[in-house]
Amino acid sequence: MTATFVLVPGMCHGGWCFADLTAQLRGHGHRVHPVTPTGIAERSHLLPGGVNLDTHIEDVTALMEAEDVHDAVLVGHSYGGMVITGAADRLPGRVASLVYLDAVVPAHGDSCWALVSDREREWYLDVVDSGYAIRPLPFFDPRATPHPLASVLQPLRLTGDPARFRRRDYVYAAGWDGESPFTPVYQRLRADPGWTTHAVDGGHNLMRDAPGELLEILLGVAAA
């Protein structure tokens, strides 16, 4: 069975962070669309003050409409959980499954700022001189670029129930160096029969730390 994956990165990262995963999924016969959100990576020149969460959701929905994507598996890493939740809400008829990779899982009215810990909020306040974007953390990939600040502050607006999709998976990175801010999310969803959860022995960047296990999980979602 051929699936169509739409891959949304976390903060400061572009579609390049999914390069290996994209090649592997395509090697198994699937369609794959890695997304670079507006204002980041090769689109970092598109960073006016108006780039927010809605912009990044529209990046995904516009791609899905332009590429005529149906029965999509939306995959969001970290901040990307905000984006795939919003995109699925706007185009529910085109989405089959949602996969959150060590990501935030928002409800109506949540912002990324509200869902993270004080440690992440302290990082968010380290902005570039323009005030529009958050600096990448020092240990990020050298290709990481500043991330639009408004996208983590804007509350998500939903019109439907996220539980209406066929399948929702949460992939938890169990190998953080220190306390993971996503542990409470994983523990809550693990007890929810509406979710399929996975704990993977890797750091937050699962695409780099646990590529084999992540590939198997996504192939399982596609087969389901």
Q: Which of 78, 97, 151, 180 is catalytic?
A: 78
Q: Look up 78 and say whether it is catalytic.
A: yes
Please state, in angstroms and rounded to a whole number, the distance separating the CA atoms of residues 128 and 146.
8
The values of phi and psi at residue 93, to 5°, are -70, -10
| AA letter at 204 | H
Please state, in angstroms and rounded to a whole number, the distance separating the CA atoms of residues 15 and 185.
25
Contact 28, 97 (CB under 8 A): no
Please state, in angstroms and rounded to a whole number, the distance separating the CA atoms of residues 31 and 33.
7
The values of phi and psi at residue 171, to 5°, are -110, 110
CA of 208: how far to CAs of 12, 21, 104, in Å?
16, 9, 19
Mind telling me the catalytic residues? Answer: 78
